[in-house]
Amino acid sequence: MSSQDWLDKDFYAVLGVSKDASAQEIKKAYRSQARKYHPDHHPGDAKAEEKFKEIGEAYSVLNDPEQREQYDAIRAMGSGGARFSAGQGGPGGAGFEDVFSSMFGGGQGGGFPGAGGPGAGGARTAGGAGNPDLDDILRMFGQGGGASGFSGGGGFPGSAGGAPAKGADLSARTRISFRDAALGTEIRLSVDGRSLTTRIPAGVHDGQKIRLRGKGRPGPGGAPAGDLLLTLDVDEHPVFHSEGTNLHLTLPVSFDEAVLGTKVSVPLLDGGSVTLKIPAGTPSGRTLRVRGKGIATKKTTGDLMVTVEIAVPTHVEGAAKKAVEDLREALADEDPRAGLAEAAAR
C-alpha cells in the first residue's frame, strides 16, 4: 500500500465505523467484517478477497493509535477533495507548498522543514524542485518510507497485500498415557522443525483432537501464528477406564467379604486411595459409586465407579473345604438359578 493511499482511502468507511469510533468499536467492526469476507468462506471469489485485504489495511492503521492520529491528520489536510500533488494544484486544488505555507508560514520554494528548497540537503520530490512527496510529510509524524512502523516497501507491519496474513495451521499426532490424559500434563513436541511445549488439559480421550491457538506456523512479517491441530492417542490402563469424566475399575472381593460385608481400600488414579464399604450380600457384578473421585476438569468432576467381582479360590483343602461343604448343605434349599429357564423361554 503506497503512502498516497492514506489520502485516497477512507478506512473508517471500509470498516463501517464513524471517525470518532472507540478502539473497541474498531476492533469489533474489524472482526465482523473479516469474518464476513474471509477467503475461506468465499473460495475463488476475487472480490471478496480484495475486500478482505482492504479491511486488513484499514484495521492495521486504525488499530494503532499513533498511525491513526497520523492518518487523521493527513486526511484532514487533504479534505475537500484536494490531493497532494507536484507543484501548484489546479483550480480549487492545493499543492504541497500551498498546504505547508499556511501551516508553517513558508513561502514558495521551501518553507516546509526538510523540503527540497535551497540548502535543504536533497529531500525527495514528487515533481518540481522544492516539492516533497508524501513520505516526506510522514516523516513529520515520525514515519516515512522505510522508517519505523512501515515495511521497506511502504506497507504496514504484519500485512500481506494489506491483510494481516495469519500463519498456516499445522497438524500433529502424539501418544500419551491414560494417567496423563485423565489428570492433564505438559508435553514437548517437535513440529515443523520447531520444539514447543504445551499443556494437555485433564479429561482428554483417545482420538480426541485439540486446537492449540498460536502454535502453528509463524505468520509473515510478525503476523499472528496459525494453530496446531493435535490428535491424541491414549494408551490403555491395566486397572482404570473412563466414560466421560467417570472412572471405572473392577474390584476383586472374596466370597466371605461379599457375603458378610466389609470395608476395603480402593486405589485412585492419582496415587491415593479411598475406603469403600462393601454391604453384606453384595453380588458379583454390582457397581458401587464413590462420588467426586473421578476425573476433575475445569467444568466438572466425575465419580469413581467400582464394580464388584467375587474372586473364587482355585484350591480349597482341609478346613476351608469342609467349611464350604457345610455352607452348601446349610443352603441346600436356595436355588440361585430359580426362574432362569422360565425367563429364557419368554
CATH number (domain holding residue 14): 1.10.287.110
In a domain, 79, yes or no: yes
Q: Which of 162, 225, 143 is nearest to 30 (CA)?
A: 162
- Scan for cell 515520525, then name that residue: 142
* Same domain flag for 284 and 314: yes
Tell me the mean pLDDT in the region 106-126.
42
* Same domain flag for 65 and 196: no
Per residue in 129-149, pLDDT tens? 444 445 455 544 444 443 333
* Same domain flag for 56 and 181: no
CA distance 201 to 302: 15
Phi, psi at 263, each rounded to 5°: -120, 130
In a domain, 152, yes or no: yes
In a domain, 260, yes or no: yes
Residue 175: band (very low, low, confident or very high) from pLDDT cuts 50, 70, 90 = very high
Per residue in 250-302, pLDDT tens? 999 999 999 999 999 999 999 999 999 999 999 999 999 999 999 999 999 99
* Same domain flag for 178 and 140: no
Kindly state the cell numbers that stand for 109.
520554494
DSSP 3-state assignment of 68?
helix
Res 223 pLDDT > 60: yes
Q: Give the best-scoring range by mean pLDDT among 30-39, 124-133, 258-267, 326-335.
A: 258-267
> What pLDDT, on a 0 to 100 scale, did the predictor assign at position 162?
52
DSSP letter at 167 equals P
| Domain harbouring 273, CATH code | 2.60.260.20
In a domain, 71, yes or no: yes
Q: Provide the domain count of the chain.
A: 3
Full residue range of the structural domain in which residue 298 is found = 241-318
Position 137: which residue type?
I
* Same domain flag for 246 and 229: no
CA quadruple 327, 331, 336, 337: dihedral positive or negative? positive
* Same domain flag for 57 and 149: yes
